[in-house]
Amino acid sequence: MLGEAHYEPVELEIGGTRRTFDIDDPVLPDWIDKKAFSSGGFPYDDKLSSQDYEKTLEKLQVELVKVQFWMQAKGRRVIAVFEGRDAAGKGGAIQATMANMNPRSARIVALTKPTETERGQWYYQRYVATFPTAGEFVLFDRSWYNRAGVEPVMGFCTAEQYEHFLKQTPRFEKMIVEEGIHFFKFWLNIGHEMQLKRFHDRRHDPLKCWKLSPMDIAALKKWDDYSEKRDRMLKETDSNHAPWTVVRANDKRRARINLVRHILTTLDYDGKDKAVIGDVDDRIVQTAAAFLKDDKRA
């Protein structure tokens, strides 16, 4: 068994059916394997081919390099927040975005749990300390939105703190935008069976087993609670100045390409090649309002 931990089988309810999920069993159950890709109402039957993905992504990454030159010349700043359930593909999407950007002016922020000192500060303070200077592109692998999801679900904040966050965050983000920062918020959405498949893959992959934690296992029974918190977060913190962009991510390749396309389409940078960028797939990328109206979402 990879890793030192041993996990007991978990009883889950999926689609009105009780299921037993033993993540330590190296054989992925058929009921997960057959439903994973289509779970959550994913609109495609097959993955985008690796050849099409790599060819398209490379062209888009050339455009991202142009974005960096434009940012440095004009002193522009960009923040992109990547949120989603565990195993939604946030890290991979971030890496695809910045793979060929100059790391001196493009960086990832992935903060650990707050220190005792940070817990006594204004909640947003430790995030603000990492914001970009002129010419910088900062990508948040999780963000202040921990307080809208994992913290209330797992009991890491009080109900009062949660409500205060939902009320204050649109105001906080308005300050970000009014400061002149280009601000993106992405929610990567996956279906229930797809999350289970990715957890199982991590458990039995010697290169990725470290990604699975007891916290992930504890959260398995809280799918509906996470869904409820996600929906309220999207409703309460989606705004004209800082809208949410929901990316259907059962197919990581389509998710990454269309996420990058969205960034490139939004920014008005020098040398922009619209023909190369192409059109964002509206079956993959949705507004928060459209997602919340979709009865097939997970």
**pLDDT surpasses 80 at 24:** yes
Predicted pLDDT at 132: 98
* pLDDT (tens digit per residue) in 55-75: 999 999 999 999 999 999 999
Q: Which CATH class is domain 10-293?
A: alpha beta
Task: HSE, CB side, 13 Å, CA atoms: give it for residue 37.
Answer: 11
CB-CB neighbours of 46 under 10 Å:
7
Mean pLDDT of the chain: 96
Q: Residue 52's pLDDT band (boundaries 50, 70, 90)?
A: very high
Question: H or E segment at 159?
Answer: helix 159-178
Q: What is the pTM of this model?
A: 0.96
Question: Over the stretch 120-175, which tens digit does the pLDDT of each residue have?
Answer: 999 999 999 999 999 999 999 999 999 999 999 999 999 999 999 999 999 999 99
3-state secondary structure of 192: helix
Alpha-carbon distances, residue 141 vs 17, 33, 130 (angstroms): 33, 28, 12
- The backbone region for 84, taken as left when phi is positive above 0, alpha when psi lies in -120 to 50, beta otherwise, is left
